[in-house]
Amino acid sequence: MAHSRTLPMEVTWETLKKYHIDEDVGFALPNPLEELPEKYNAWILVAKNLPELIKTGQLREEVEKLPMLSTDDLKEYEEQCLGHLALGCITMAYVWNQADDDVRKVLPRNIAVPYCELSEKLGLPPILVYADCVLANWKRKDPRGPMTYENMDILFSFPGGECSKGFFLVSLLVETAAFSAVKAVPTVLKAVQQQDKETLKNTLLGMADYLRNAQKVFKEIHGHVDPDQFYNVLRKYLSGWKGNPKLPDGLLYEGVWEDPKQFAGGSAGQSSIFQCLDALLGIEQTTGRGPAAEFIKDMRTYMPPAHRDFLYFLESCPSTREFVLSRGDADLKEAYDECVQALVSLRSYHLGIVKTYVLDPAKKQSREEETASGQSEQEHRGTGGTDFMNVLKTVRMKTSQSLLKDR
């Protein structure tokens, strides 16, 4: 039971480094590489020119001409991450090409084999995931400058102009802003273990401030991402082949598997940051068998294994929520609720973003084109292949139900 859990040792940032968490950028990859060893230049060249190659109709031909390369020379973790990102972007572009009905059901072996090799090394599926396009797809323009939108860029993009940059970078900046709250993990765990109510209360209030700041950062998306461009262009390149009527059987990875495989596309659900906050605050999102719980558990398989392990570690620690409940301290309960309420507000804002960038453009398109029923069904499914609005509403509801007011 949760109240009988004990920490094996004092948890510090030194002990948490093994989970591939950086004290400055959190779950993001610190200072991602921009280039691979010379033999892999062909991958990088195609990945950097995806929008132009798609526009001129040359993308698939260029991909099919790529040499079959071994991944043995990609020995460093950062090299493997860049290789996985580049091949992931190439794969999405090859499958969806000009984002019409001309969809490829087979990924050629010259891409499929090295992509699956890298995926196995990294413990990730062979599809573009959040860890690729957000956490590893960024750089500082001035290496000594701050992590601000103005001083940052992305490594690879899709058609849709500046939409890719806006969507990926704002997602990253929200992630790093919210990570300021996660930095409290060692302090929270130690306070619970030592039954230090005052430290825990102050830490929870500080976490609430950081989450409110993350919501302010989230608002920047409106200045950088056009809803129509996102819905009609970028979103299609992030779509996976699980629960997708355009690839009902999945994608065949030539030279790897004999049968097609189904994988979900990139999704904010693959971010470790909010599942981490749920685990730390004792908000049980993965209990039960409902669609939301199943989706959250499934999304963990799309995270880097070290981040997944960190979530399991947090869930094995003494429960912050149970400790606060057991103390019967009104001020402590109020601080806990303020932190949870900040998370509820952030999730409500996310729902509003989804309405603006997915539901509203979908309704507009339906009115204009009298969309066929098959397409209409897909409008309400996210790039992760789920009925995302029901999932997001359930996650927000469970967060809200964790408030301790009147308990």
Q: Which residues are annotated as a binding site for heme b?
A: 350
Say which DSSP state 8 is in: S
Residue type, 144: R
CA angle, residues 247, 102, 230, in degrees to nearest 5:
80
> To which residue do tokens 């262009």 refer?
233
Q: Determine the Cα–Cα distance for residues 24 and 26; give it in Å rounded to an integer.
A: 6
Residue positions forming the annotated binding site: 350
Q: What is the dihedral of CA 185, 191, 194, 196, to 10 degrees?
A: 180
| Cα–Cα dist 174/353, whole Å | 13
Residue 394: CB atoms within 10 A of its CB come to: 18
Cβ contact 266:241 at 8 Å = no
d(CA 229, CA 31): 29
Helices (H) then strands (E): counts for the chain: 21, 4
